[in-house]
Amino acid sequence: MRADLEVADIFRVAGPAYRAAHAGHLSQQHLKVMSAIENCRTAALGGHVEACEDCGQWRIAYNSCRNRHCPRCQGAAARTWLAEREADLLPIGYFHVVFTLPAEVADIAFHNKALVYDLLFRAASETMLTIAADPKHLGARIGITAVLHTWGSAMMHHPHVHMIVPGGGIALDGTRWVSSRPAFLLPVKVLGKLFRRLFLTRLLTLHDAGRLVFFGSMAHLAERRAFLHYLSPARKKRWVVYAKPPFAGPEAVLAYLSRYTHRVAISNRRLIRFDEDGVSFRYKDYRRDGADRQQVMTLATDEFIRRFLLHVLPRGFHRIRHYGLLAGGSRKDCLALARELLAAAPPVTNDPPAEPDDFRPPCPCCGGRMIVIEVFERCRQPRGPPGARTTNRETAP
């Protein structure tokens, strides 16, 4: 169901003026994201016309942009991804672990997104795998699904990684399954200390190799002594690693993943109003408790667009990654061994139906089947059958 107000509506109205005002300061990636969202499911991307075989009603279906930053396109992408991941779930409890960068490092990440976001993934995953393999803790190889988020509820820059981790792993000798305690996976203080050391050591290596860039008020950090001085507070403070209580079974894991894996900076359902005063939206104020946590914020339209574009990822950057038992080509064999050690049945694979399923959508008028009667290219308008009843359907083909 289409929301009353969407990010696309804001971009279509205010986008041209924003691009003109910030010409020369927007990257090609920013411009592509804005254009994709503005054109999503409009005649600019083309589409097709469907007609009912029974009653003759017809409707237009415009193509989606499929951009990963588009709030409208992520629902279908999430459903497809979840269907592929469902077979990976084990019949055990799962934990939710979050690794967050302190503010000093987040500022560096803003100017070096690809490098620092990648380092965040690598340091966090290595921390989990190292501590889990330590016989003093779990003594096992674990699996991790990690998802990068770069925003807080108010759309400010706040890079952190969410991890979904099974409550246990395969013993280092591969002979048995080692279960974690029901409500405890790994000590967060130990995780935080190792995460801080790994991240800062490798961040300094990147700096020494001349791979980090700095602009504006941070330009002086290109000098090594200034860089070390800047990071001094981060070396002394506790780095936050948060482990939430375990999920109540694999179904709850899927429900969580459906909300988090393909989330963008703000969903359309959080938008309230867009007028001459700016954009109003709902957000969570984590300094408050209870009902007071839900608040409403109004931003000037330019500021809203600026905050949204803060979270455009570098081209080709993977924001969902798998480690340990779930990594790459070894995932299938590792999961099969885990199920064997857990004495769990393998996932059910449905036999292909004797006849292919009919994927044609039902007619909203009589319930009959809709067939494609015309395909039209980008920036072209459909002809449509003359005199027939029509509706608009704004869904991806």
Q: Position 135: which residue type?
A: P
Q: Position 62: which residue type?
A: Y
- The structure tokens listed for 200 are 């800062």
Res 189: pLDDT:
95
Res 345: pLDDT:
61
Dihedral of the alpha carbons of 41, 42, 44, 49, in degrees to the nearest 10? 90
CA–CA distance, 247 with 270 (Å, rounded to integer) = 25
Per-domain residue ranges of the chain: 7-69+355-376, 74-265+311-342
Q: Smallest Cα–Cα separation from 315: which of 112, 114, 71, 159?
A: 114
Res 385: pLDDT:
56
Backbone angles phi, psi at 344, to 5 degrees: -105, 145
Res 1: pLDDT:
43
- The structure tokens listed for 156 are 């400010």
| Contact between 305 and 16 (Cβ < 8 Å) | no
CA–CA distance, 348 with 341 (Å, rounded to integer) = 18
Q: For tokens 């801080």, what's the residue?
A: 196
CA–CA distance, 393 with 60 (Å, rounded to integer) = 6
Res 356: pLDDT:
46
User: Which class for 170: exposed (0-12), middle (13-18), buried (19 or more C-beta within 10 A)?
Assistant: buried
Res 355: pLDDT:
47
Res 176: pLDDT:
94
| Contact between 25 and 2 (Cβ < 8 Å) | no
Q: What are the distances in angstroms from CA 87 to CA 263, 330, 331, 338?
A: 22, 15, 11, 13
Backbone angles phi, psi at 268, to 5 degrees: -60, -30
Per-residue model confidence as pLDDT tens for the chain (397 residues): 456 899 999 999 999 999 999 998 999 999 999 999 999 988 888 888 888 888 888 888 888 888 999 988 876 677 777 777 777 888 888 899 999 999 999 999 999 999 999 999 999 999 999 999 999 999 999 999 999 999 999 999 999 999 999 999 999 999 999 999 888 999 999 999 999 999 999 999 999 999 999 999 999 999 999 999 999 999 999 998 998 877 776 667 777 776 777 788 899 999 999 999 999 999 988 888 777 888 999 999 999 999 999 999 999 999 999 999 999 888 999 999 999 999 876 665 554 444 444 456 788 788 888 888 888 777 676 665 545 455 555 554 4
Q: For tokens 């108010």, what's the residue?
A: 154
- The structure tokens listed for 166 are 């099974």
For the chain, the C-alpha Rg in angstroms (whole number) is 24
Res 383: pLDDT:
64
